[in-house]
Amino acid sequence: MLDEIKKTAAFIAERIQGFRPEVGIILGTGLGDFAEQIDVQHALDYKDIPGFPVSTVEGHKGRLIFGLLEGRRVVAMQGRFHYYEGYAMSQVTFPVRVMKLLGIEYLFVSNASGGINTSFRVGDLMVITDHINLMPNPLIGPNMAELGPRFPDMHNCYDKALIARATEIAEREGIKLQYGVYVGGTGPTFETQAEYRYFKAIGGDAAGMSTVPEVIVARHMGIPVFGVSVITNCGLSDEVGDHEDVQRQGRKAGEKMARLFREMIRNL
């Protein structure tokens, strides 16, 4: 696997002509429009990148974008991969490994999620302070010691300094933030009411089907992570889960998330 990661990174590096990204950004369901704010220098379709899976989910465009954002060199995944699509965890997390070899020093992740905390409302931004993993751990199997330790610590999984900076920016910009624990499940079914009650009982504030594998792998490689969940539905209500509505709510809240991400990246 390490050889495949290196080959893919070398393939991309040749095509981006010496562009070395500082920040990696993963855009979740309904949040892909944020990529339009990047001054694009290079764009590669996933299908043209050796070793890359292809996103099969509506709302995930499937492009790797390299460019400038607030004066910083960034690489953005316009669409991610999910375990429920049938990909192995090594495939789901493959792009994060590649981005590390391309040079990223920070990872920003976003997702659409169902609110568990009863104080949350649709359209809220939740800064992820921790997570609970209910998916297979992506580090199961032989360890790639060149990239990280066998038993990586996850205490500061979501970087406290970045969270503090987000709080300062949000106060200055008038952006309301929630804070909480993200529960990562396999999907693709939206959670049952009983599952939401279980997630609440074990300490969850929002639930979704992504993010956790990428974050675990990023921390394995020592990359500081900042994560935001857009609350697109309230799981403990009687609302019926609908992917189209998740996309709509994601797009509506995306403007606030974009402002937060831009200011944070500018102030890194």
Token pair for 104 = 């990223």
Residue 261: predicted pLDDT: 94
Cβ proximity of 38 and 90 under 8 Å:
no
Q: What is the mean pLDDT of the chain?
A: 91
Residue 243: predicted pLDDT: 53
Question: Which among 72, 67, 70 has a CA at the least distance from the CA of 35?
Answer: 67
Report the DSSP beta bridge partners of residue 43. Answer: 65
Domain coverage including residue 14: 2-266
Cβ proximity of 25 and 78 under 8 Å:
no
Confidence of residue 54 (pLDDT cuts 50, 70, 90): confident
* Number of domains making up the chain: 1
Contacts of 155 (CB under 8 A, 6+ apart): none
Instruction: Inform me whether the pLDDT recorded for 248 exceeds 70.
Output: no
| CATH code of the domain containing 262 | 3.40.50.1580
Distance CA 25, CA 22 (A): 10
Instruction: Inform me whether the pLDDT recorded for 245 exceeds 60.
Output: no
pLDDT tens per residue across span 134-160: 999 999 999 999 999 999 999 999 999
Task: Decide: pTM greater than 0.85.
Answer: yes
Contacts of 71 (CB under 8 A, 6+ apart): 266
Token pair for 109 = 């992740």
